């Protein structure tokens, strides 16, 4: 599997992604920045966390309008895999790749803690979260 990690000014966690996919999974992994016009042939694109373009306007809003995210959309439409982590997930939502919207946490404050999540197979995972605009809002039909 060929993996590309896309960075924008202000994003971080890209090195962690590269080390995980390259060193743990042994998959060829490259970092691409916002100046790339055309994506190479990849199986998986990762958008890491951080504060792309300082999160001015809204988290992920400026990056979501870049030509490179247009390439990510094309990749997804062709059946390619895309993983958005933190700000990367916000970019995907802002770009319209996810059917929903982002909102501030119900507490309206920054939250930094560990949560437990369960996937559709019933597997339970412990995940760290750290965000203010991390609530994904969608219809029940979208979520099921």
User: Per-domain residue ranges for the chain?
Assistant: 1-98, 100-144
Interatomic CA distance for residues 133 and 32, integer angstroms: 25
Q: How deeply is 97 buried, as exposed, middle or buried, from its count of CB atoms within 10 A (0-12, 13-18, 19+)?
A: middle
CATH topology of domain 1-98: Rossmann fold (3.40.50)
Interatomic CA distance for residues 59 and 36, integer angstroms: 21
pTM of the model: 0.85
Interatomic CA distance for residues 27 and 92, integer angstroms: 23
Q: Over the stretch 73-114, which tens digit does the pLDDT of each residue have? A: 999 999 999 999 999 999 999 999 998 888 988 999 999 999
């Amino acid at each position: 599997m060929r993996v590309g990690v896309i960075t924008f000014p202000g994003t971080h966690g890209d090195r962690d992604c590269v080390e995980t996919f390259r060193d743990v999974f042994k998959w060829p992994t490259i970092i691409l920045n916002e100046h790339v016009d055309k994506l190479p042939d990849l199986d998986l694109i990762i958008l890491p966390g951080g504060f792309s373009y300082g999160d001015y306007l809204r988290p992920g809003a400026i990056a979501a309008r870049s030509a490179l995210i247009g390439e990510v959309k094309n990749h997804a439409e062709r059946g390619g895999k895309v993983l958005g982590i933190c700000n990367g997930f916000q970019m995907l939502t802002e770009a319209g790749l996810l059917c929903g919207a982002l909102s501030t946490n119900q507490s309206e404050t920054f939250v930094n803690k560990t949560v437990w999540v369960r996937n559709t197979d019933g597997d339970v995972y412990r995940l760290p979260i750290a965000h203010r605009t991390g609530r994904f809002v969608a219809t029940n039909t979208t979520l099921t």
